[in-house]
């Protein structure tokens, strides 16, 4: 269908005085004795196009005036009666698709909770078009960030036999139903599609390390799956994961890259999505733009895990989860550190080895590993990363201490046997990042079809 994007009409002043055909969905309709006004959206811009219909000259089918109906309008582009923009004086309004009165997205604001029950339609609201436009711009900016710095974009397998994080949170991949004839788990999996136990990957990191120890700098950007029983506002069973992996890099390098990437992507979003950011500022999080400008302009904090524990112990707050050296930081602890103490993003570094993964570089103190989590106000952890253990003996010792099956990690261990190098990387939860830049408080509201415990709509 030959037509012009609404974004193009609103942006390009040279179109004033020309004829144009636009297609879109009716968002609002206002009527007076002589003139009717339709506001059209076609997805190409946050602002809608006002179509002015002179009722004495143009026949207007009542179906074309219903909220949600799709129409095609031919008309003249003119300077808007009010403000700086353009509008369209209709010469012909043609119905493309009717929209009956029980259309659930009406003009009045509906709750996010209700909208979650209609994921196939909620994108037609201002809120969700804004979220998904920001999400798209952020994704492109992440690819550009790495491409500009000569990282290779690698696609790691989604079906895997090795559990990267070792937390037992993998979804199983199988083609066979349970059958009582099997006496053991091993015998059962032997008959399965891959002749062994397989699952959906929780992280592309292990394969990312394979690529980084040949190509130098790589990143992945794909889905990860976690069968965590965490029904919270920041956990999904399927989320998108950005994972750079860098050879010849130590923990401070990893943190520097993470900080630079976050700042660069936020800058791009603020530049390219100014209308959406104004909307979020007004309707979602007051102070959002100042918060993000502050993130871009100031240095992220850095806090030793051991100091974090001391700080939490002295806090004038009663936490639900007790604090002691060796404990994992809970969301309430992370939020206290970022929201009450630093008021900006903070890297917590050097965690106890017992609460972190087998692959992390063991520090000289024998107690901690060179790991970092980036915590941000409002959300908590958005990045987990580390320098990797490059010493084969230390890696094997850590794996044995965890009772891991060394045979199934032979390829990973080989990376240390054949020309090992210091290297490291991190994983950014993309949805959590989108929450942070939009101010949205529930991860289900920045995902097209969120998958979480008891929910696969």
Question: Which residues form the interface with ligand 4AD (CB under 6 A)?
Answer: 164-165, 203, 205, 226, 228, 235-236, 239, 241, 243, 381-386, 425-427, 429, 431-432
Shortest distance in whole angstroms from residue 431 CB to ligand 4AD: 6
Number of H helices, E strands in the chain: 13, 15
Shortest distance in whole angstroms from residue 205 CB to ligand 4AD: 4
Shortest distance in whole angstroms from residue 239 CB to ligand 4AD: 4
d(CA 98, CA 101): 10
Q: 86 or 350, CB closer to ligand 4AD?
A: 350
Shortest distance in whole angstroms from residue 357 CB to ligand 4AD: 7
CB neighbour burial string for 140-150, b if at least 16 within 10 angstroms, e if fewer: ebbeebbeeee
Q: Are 218 and 211 in contact (CB under 8 A)?
A: yes
Shortest distance in whole angstroms from residue 260 CB to ligand 4AD: 17
Q: 328 or 365, CB closer to ligand 4AD?
A: 328
Across-strand partners of 371? 386
Shortest distance in whole angstroms from residue 369 CB to ligand 4AD: 12
Q: 65 or 357, CB closer to ligand 4AD?
A: 357
Contacts within 8 Å (CB) and 24+ apart, 363-372 = 368/305, 368/306, 370/250, 370/251, 370/424, 371/251, 372/251, 372/254, 372/255, 372/258, 372/347, 372/348, 372/426
From residue 103, alpha-carbon distances to 51, 66, 107 in Å are 22, 10, 10
**53, two tokens:** 């219909």
d(CA 139, CA 143): 6
Q: 197 or 241, CB closer to ligand 4AD?
A: 241
Q: 134 or 202, CB closer to ligand 4AD?
A: 202
Q: 15 or 226, CB closer to ligand 4AD?
A: 226
d(CA 428, CA 424): 14
């Amino acid at each position: 269908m030959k037509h012009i994007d609404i974004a193009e009409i609103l942006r390009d002043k040279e179109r004033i005085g020309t004829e144009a055909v636009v297609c879109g969905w009716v968002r609002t309709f206002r009527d007076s004795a002589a003139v009717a006004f339709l506001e059209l959206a076609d997805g190409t811009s946050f602002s809608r196009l006002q179509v002015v219909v002179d009722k004495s000259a143009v026949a207007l089918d009542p179906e074309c005036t219903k909220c949600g109906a799709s129409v095609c309008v031919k008309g003249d582009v003119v300077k808007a009666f009010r403000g700086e923009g353009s509008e369209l004086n209709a010469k012909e309004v043609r119905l493309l698709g009717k929209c009956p009165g029980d259309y659930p997205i009406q003009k009045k604001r509906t709750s996010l909770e209700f909208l979650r029950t209609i994921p196939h339609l909620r994108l037609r609201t201002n809120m969700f078009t804004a979220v998904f436009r920001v999400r798209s711009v952020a994704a492109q900016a992440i690819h550009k960030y790495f491409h500009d710095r000569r990282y290779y974009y690698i696609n790691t397998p989604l079906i895997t036999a090795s559990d990267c994080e070792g937390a037992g949170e993998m979804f199983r991949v199988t083609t066979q139903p349970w059958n009582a004839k099997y006496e053991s788990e091993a015998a059962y999996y032997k008959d399965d599609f891959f002749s062994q136990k397989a699952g959906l990957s929780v992280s592309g990191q292990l394969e990312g390390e394979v690529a980084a120890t040949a190509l130098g700098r790589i990143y992945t950007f794909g889905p990860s799956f976690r069968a965590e029983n965490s029904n919270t506002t920041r956990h999904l069973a399927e989320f998108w994961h950005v994972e750079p992996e860098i050879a010849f890099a130590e923990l401070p390098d990893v943190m520097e890259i993470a900080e630079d990437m976050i700042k660069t992507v936020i800058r791009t979003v603020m530049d390219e999505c100014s209308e959406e950011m104004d909307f979020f500022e007004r309707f979602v999080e007051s102070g959002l733009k100042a918060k993000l400008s502050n993130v871009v302009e100031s240095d992220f904090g850095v806090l030793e895990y051991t100091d974090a524990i001391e700080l939490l112990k002295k806090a004038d707050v009663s936490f639900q989860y007790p604090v002691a050296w060796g404990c994992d930081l809970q969301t309430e602890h992370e939020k206290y550190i970022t929201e009450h103490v630093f008021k900006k993003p903070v890297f917590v570094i050097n965690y106890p080895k017992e609460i972190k993964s087998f692959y992390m570089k063991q520090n000289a103190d024998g107690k901690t590993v060179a790991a970092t989590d980036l915590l941000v106000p409002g959300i908590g952890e958005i990045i987990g990363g580390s320098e990797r253990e490059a010493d084969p003996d230390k890696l094997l010792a850590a794996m044995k201490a965890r009772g891991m099956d060394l045979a199934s990690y032979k390829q990973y261990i080989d990376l240390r046997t054949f020309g090992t190098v210091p290297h490291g990387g991190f994983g950014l939860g993309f949805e959590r990042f989108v929450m942070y830049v939009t101010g949205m408080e529930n991860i289900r509201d920045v995902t097209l079809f969120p998958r979480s415990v008891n929910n696969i709509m």
